């Protein structure tokens, strides 16, 4: 039924497009983007693109219509790794600081920030930490302190145009721990300020549960399984976890999900 209705919509728009007022064509294209089911777009995308290009809809219409527009220009995917042991050591310190800049229109990765961080309270990594994260002592020895890394994050944000008030961006994490517990806790311990852009975020677990109707108890592994995605890299590698988060977000966006802030204002 959806295929038939989709074909009808394509045919109707094709036959009527020549008579369409030019100033209304963009709205018509938006209507097509929002109304055509993904399965129809997948099967008929090339046909739509060919038929409508001559009427001012643009050759990239089919690609653009694969998912609705998001509320943010950019998503900043973040996943910390920190010092750890069993029983847990205190305070924990961030040792890997990765961010992926995800374009909110294409859901593709445009830029990467990735640094390792020298822990100062517990400078020697435990065997448990290395086994869990894959981070060895040589990867953190001699690296910048958290304060220095935060300064470089700010420089990267400025260079990427993310500090422009007209650019809407938001961080995305797998859970609330990274930006609700880990970063503010360590900054408080070290007497460092927390930048405002770290104070609102999207918890991917909550977004996934809204989209799929089930809570991912095992985090990224459950989300990849639920979406039939292959896991990228090794679990608990910060940069690999970011790539998995980005892949899950892209898949949900293609299914029509609109991402919204899940954190409460500070």
pLDDT, one tens digit per residue, over 35-71 is 444 444 444 343 433 433 333 333 334 444 467 899 9
The CATH number of 74-255 is which of 3.90.550.10, 3.30.420.10, 3.40.50.920, 2.170.190.11?
3.30.420.10
Q: Which residue has the tokens 């790539």?
A: 243
The runs of H, that is alpha helices, within 36-81 are 38-53, 61-64
Just list the catalytic residues.
81, 236
Confidence class for position 266, pLDDT limits 50, 70, 90: low
Indicate the average pLDDT of the chain.
Answer: 83
Determine the Cα angle at 103 with ends 171 and 194, to 5°.
Answer: 20
Question: CA Rg, the chain, in Å?
Answer: 22
Strands (E), 104-180: 109-116, 169-173
The two tokens of residue 41 are 């777009």
84: Cβ contacts below 8 Å, ≥ 6 apart:
92, 126, 128, 129, 132, 133
19-41 b/e (C-beta count within 10 Å ≥ 16 → b): eeeeeebeebbeebbeebebebb
29: Cβ contacts below 8 Å, ≥ 6 apart:
52, 57, 58, 61, 65
Cis (ω within 30 of 0) for the bond into 7? no
3-state class percentages of the chain: helix first, strand second, coil last, to nearest 5: 45, 10, 40
Name the DSSP class of 176.
S
Q: What is the pLDDT at residue 91?
A: 96
Q: What is the pLDDT at residue 265?
A: 77
pLDDT in tens, 64-85: 446 789 999 999 999 999 999 9
Q: Are the beta carbons of 101 and 162 closer than 8 angstroms?
A: yes
The residue extents of the domains of the chain are 74-255
């Amino acid at each position: 039924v959806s295929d038939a209705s989709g074909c009808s919509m394509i045919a109707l728009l094709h036959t009527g497009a020549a008579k369409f007022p030019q100033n209304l064509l963009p709205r018509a294209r938006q209507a097509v983007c929002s109304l055509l089911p993904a399965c129809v777009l997948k099967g008929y995308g090339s046909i739509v693109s060919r038929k409508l290009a001559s009427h001012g809809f643009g050759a990239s219409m089919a690609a653009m219509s694969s998912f609705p527009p998001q509320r943010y220009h950019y998503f900043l995917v973040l996943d910390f790794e920190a010092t750890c042991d069993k029983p847990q050591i205190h305070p924990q310190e961030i040792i890997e600081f990765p961010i992926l800049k995800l374009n909110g229109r294409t859901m593709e990765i445009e830029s990467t920030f990735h640094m390792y961080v020298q822990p100062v309270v517990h400078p020697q990594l435990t065997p448990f930490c290395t086994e869990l994260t894959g981070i060895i002592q040589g990867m953190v020895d001699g690296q910048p302190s958290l304060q220095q890394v935060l300064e470089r994050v700010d420089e990267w944000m400025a260079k990427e145009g993310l500090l422009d008030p007209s650019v809407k961006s938001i961080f995305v994490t797998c859970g609330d721990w990274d930006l609700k517990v880990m970063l503010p806790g360590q900054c408080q311990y070290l007497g460092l300020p927390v930048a405002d852009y770290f104070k609102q975020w999207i918890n991917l677990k909550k977004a996934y549960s809204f989209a799929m109707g089930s809570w991912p108890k095992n985090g990224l592994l459950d989300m990849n399984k639920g979406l039939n995605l292959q896991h990228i890299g090794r679990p608990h590698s910060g940069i690999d976890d970011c790539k998995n988060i980005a892949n899950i977000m892209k898949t949900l966006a293609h299914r029509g999900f609109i991402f919204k802030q899940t954190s409460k204002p500070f």
